[in-house]
Amino acid sequence: MTHDFKTVDSSRVSISQLMQPSHSNFGGKIHGGYILSLMDQIAFACASKHSEAYCVTASVDTVDFLNPIEIGELVTMKASVNYVGRTSMVVGIRVEAENIQTGAIKHCNSSYFTMVAKDDYGNSVTVPGLILNDKTEVKRFLKAIKRKSTKINRQKEFNSNSFSLDNYIENLKDYNIKIDLPKN
């Protein structure tokens, strides 16, 4: 690693690919798994560019499929490092599809990949800090902190030894479920 801090712009990555029939699902739309695979690749490229190291995917958070992608559309993915920890980075990815005949562009997917930098022996390595140059970059960093905090709090709440269903049963009455627990 040669830099203590890097700008968000220095590791931005963009890729475009024409969607072909071989990428489609049984419904004739582009398969979500194929899009996730491309997203994982761009997350790797973005994180590796920032960290100057090999990176692995630690988690994928908030995958929102907003609009279907059609065969023949040009898909463009844009990735940037939104957050850095000591050895990890959150890469934000935006997926857009363009009808190349009409020029119409639609936002199809957004996601956040947590990537961890590794050395040649599989040990986690420290990543450069992040220089935030505008309000959007600061907002994205803050949103990443909030997602991380929410995830930690959720894990603590539901994985603690003091967890009790009794504290939640009343909140479930408006859901389309029937609770039929065995009698102890």
Q: What does the pLDDT read at residue 162?
A: 87
Domains and CATH numbers, the chain: 5-172 (3.10.129.10)
pLDDT at 47: 98
In the block, which residue shows the tokens 């994205």? 140
What pLDDT sits at residue 52? 96
pTM above 0.85, yes or no: yes
Whether 128 and 3 have beta carbons less than 8 Å apart is answered as yes
User: What's the pLDDT score for residue 1?
Assistant: 43
pLDDT digits (tens, 9 = 90+) for 37-87: 999 999 999 999 999 999 999 999 989 899 999 999 999 999 999 999 999
Residues 6 or more apart in contact with residue 155 via CB below 8 angstroms: none
Mind giving me the DSSP string for 38-86? HHHHHHHHHHHHHHTSEEEEEEEEEEEE-S--BTT-EEEEEEEEEEE-S
Mean pLDDT confidence for 150-164: 91
Q: What is the pLDDT of residues 3-12, one digit of tens each?
A: 599 999 999 9
* DSSP calls for 96-157: EEE-TTT--EEEEEEEEEEEEEE-TTS-B----EEE--SHHHHHHHHHHHHHHHHHHHHHHH
Q: Are 34 and 73 a contacting pair, CB within 8 Å?
A: no
Whether 89 and 50 have beta carbons less than 8 Å apart is answered as: yes
What percentage of the chain reaches a pLDDT higher than 90? 85
Phi/psi at 111 (5° precision):
-160, 165
Q: Pull the structure tokens for residue 13.
A: 């990555």
Res. 166: pLDDT tops 90: no
